[in-house]
Amino acid sequence: MSQTNTLTFSPLIIGMMRFGVWGVDMNTKDLERFIDQCIDLGLTDFDHADIYGHYTEEGRFGQVIKRRPDLKSKIQITTKCGIRLVTPNRPDYKIASYESTKPHIIASAEQSLKELGVDQLDLLLIHRPDYLMHPAEIAEAVEQLKKQGKIKHFGVSNFTPSQFELLHSYTPLVNNQIEVSLLHRHPLEDGTLDQCMRLGTIPTAWSPFGGGALFVSKSDKPAIQRITDAAQPLQEKYNAAFDQLLLAWLLKHPSGIIPVLGTTKIARIEKAKEALSINLSHEDWYILLEAAVGEQVP
């Protein structure tokens, strides 16, 4: 199923997972300032999930929206549903599981709208593939939410190519948010990014720095040491910091990968934005790949 994708993202996406109780526990005033600073940088996409902060992070963000309703027209909000997280905030959930039934998707989307204080979600994603998912039922939920104006676009996160293909045959998917970095290269090899290019689907990348593992000094993992060593001369060549090179490696891919940044520090986001101007040569891209793999490409 081909498609014309009308969704556009800012060049980097701001991930909101660590702003609440799972991270820095930023207060409303500081979060408002942070959002304004991101907007000033031209970064207007904010990535949420219902489970973040044990189902509290959307509400924290919504408090800013309540104070500043003008932000609704300045930003784009993605959120995710489908994970049933065991937490006191969901006392009926007995075990960690996934659910993508029509009632659950609709209820989750409506709860996210309430928490965030907005009338429409720009993008709703299924957070993890549910082994019991029925694509026709998901499509019904999406169609209803779109008709009601509650969501604008729909996509998935962490779906394999076959799972994506199945659901996409029932309802248009405009995004697959995947883990991809020099330490997690499966999407380059399993057909995920090929599929994105074929369908015109936007791939967004969570954990673009390997969950921070690439920044661990004196790591006992050979791959990290090889990547660090290979990057040193490239840092001089491109006048770039290590983290900027890691982003440039992702940005080089022709599928148009858009990194989701997990940092809560505006200085790091400013630094990340500078990576947009780095254009690695083909050979330098492969130098970093070879370092990550530990051998020459076959």
Give the DSSP H/E element, type plus range, for residue 84.
strand 83-84
Cα–Cα distances (Å) from 205 to 47, 152, 279, in that order, read 11, 21, 18
Question: Which pair of tokens denotes residue 205?
Answer: 């990348």
**Cα 19 to Cα 42: distance, rounded to the nearest angstrom:** 20
Residue 141: inside a domain, yes or no?
yes
Whether 3 shows a pLDDT value over 60: the answer reads no
Whether 263 shows a pLDDT value over 90: the answer reads yes
Cα–Cα distances (Å) from 32 to 19, 37, 55, 80, 272, in that order, read 12, 9, 20, 22, 20
pLDDT tens digits for range 115-171:
999 999 999 999 999 999 999 999 999 999 999 999 999 999 999 999 999 999 999
Q: Which of 52, 93, 98, 131 is catalytic?
A: 52
Q: Report the SS3 class of residue 26.
A: coil
Number of domains in the chain: 1
Residue 75: inside a domain, yes or no?
yes
Residue 116: inside a domain, yes or no?
yes
**Cα 67 to Cα 277: distance, rounded to the nearest angstrom:** 35
Residue 233: inside a domain, yes or no?
no
Residue 268: inside a domain, yes or no?
no
Return the HEC string of 133-151. Answer: CCHHHHHHHHHHHHHCCCE
Give the DSSP H/E element, type plus range, for residue 65.
helix 57-67
pLDDT in the model for residue 213: 84
Residue 63: inside a domain, yes or no?
yes
Residue 134: inside a domain, yes or no?
yes
Domain residues for 163?
Answer: 13-179
Give the DSSP H/E element, type plus range, for residue 194.
helix 192-199
Upper half-sphere CA count for residue 58 (Cβ side, 13 Å) = 25
**For position 76, which CATH number holds?**
3.20.20.100
Cα three-residue angle 152-31-250, rounded to 5 degrees: 60
pLDDT tens digits for range 86-99:
999 999 999 999 99
pLDDT in the model for residue 2: 36
Residue 50: inside a domain, yes or no?
yes
Active site residue 52: yes
Of 3-17, 179-193, 270-284, the poorest mean pLDDT is in 3-17
Whether 39 shows a pLDDT value over 90: the answer reads yes
Whether 82 shows a pLDDT value over 80: the answer reads yes
